[in-house]
Structure 1
Amino acid sequence: MPEFPALAHVAVTVSDLEASRRWYAALFGTDPVLDELEQQGTFHHAVFALASGQLFGLHAHVDAAPGERFDERRTGLDHVAFGCRDRAELESWAERLDGLGVAHGGVVDAPYGSGLSFRDPDGIALELFAPPA
């Protein structure tokens, strides 16, 4: 059996593509490498290439469910976590989030590692995570 492959990309559905595109561009420090209506015309997507080699996509669907916000208690996505080297890098990210005006829960330590949780404009739960020291 082949080894299970690395995660190639994550795509999240957003309610306002333009607002989310600006928010994620500021967070990632880069513009999307792809920004287009997909071939069948059912959704518009913007895709960011992260320094780690993965892609992070934003989708806005033509037939989007109106008025719904993200809730990790529903079946489906709970959160997306991005890996950091150590707790010091998490502290740097907390400062960057402060500079961007992004509310967060501060660096929280646990036996399995440390995390820094925050949310995007649609309330999608995001985390920066570092392994234990």
Structure 2
Amino acid sequence: MPASPTFPSLNHVAVTVRDLAVSAPWYRDLIGADPVLDEDTEAGYHHVVYAFGDGTLFGLHQHTGGGADQPFSEYRAGLDHVGFGCASRAELEAWVERLDALGIDHGGIVDAHYGSGLGFRDPDGIALEFFAPPA
């Protein structure tokens, strides 16, 4: 059997949203940057894509087919949540202030032996988290 190649790092994440007119500005405000791409595709969806400084892409898809009217649930098979990496707990504290300023509800910082997380949800209820390793 040939040797396994090195597993690549995460390049992009795309989540399906119900209404890009609601979600795209919400994410633009959260991220603090305009999308790098906003277009219809030949595959039957419109996507809006944001780029992070490390080259990772985060996309929002609105499909023309059915099914997108169902609310998100991390209890169904599929996505549980999207975690964004922070360098420290102090950075999480800055995000608490930013989320509060944007009027975004969150669960506060939760500390565990493996790190600290700050959970919140987007307009479709998709679970998001800022996460920092333990100090």
Aligned residues: 132
Q: State the superposition RMSD in angstroms.
A: 0.9
Partner residue, 2:98: 96
Q: Distance in 1 between matches of 2:123 and 2:67?
A: 17
User: Aligned ranges for residues 1-133 of structure 1 at < 5 Å?
Assistant: 1-40=4-43, 42-65=44-67, 67-133=69-135
Q: How far apart are 1:124 and its partner, in Å? A: 0.1
Q: Distance in 2 between matches of 1:44 and 1:87?
A: 36
- Residue deviations 1:32-86, cap 9 Å, x none? 100000124x100000001222000000000131531000000000000000000
Q: Confirm or deny: 8 A CA contact 2:116 2:134 kept in the other structure.
A: yes
Identity %: 63
TM-score computed with the length of structure 1 as normaliser: 0.97
Q: Distance in 2 between matches of 1:58 and 1:66?
A: 12
Return structure 1 stretches of 4+ with deviation > 6 angstroms: none
Q: Distance in 2 between matches of 1:104 and 1:53?
A: 27
Q: Distance in 2 between matches of 1:100 and 1:68?
A: 25
Q: Distance in 2 between matches of 1:67 and 1:13?
A: 10
Q: Distance in 1 between matches of 2:46 and 2:68?
A: 16
Name structure 1 gaps, 5 residues minimum: none
Q: Distance in 2 between matches of 1:55 and 1:77?
A: 17
Aligned partner of 1:94: which letter? V
- Residue deviations 1:86-130, cap 9 Å, x none? 000000001000000000001110000000000000000000000
TM-score computed with the length of structure 2 as normaliser: 0.95
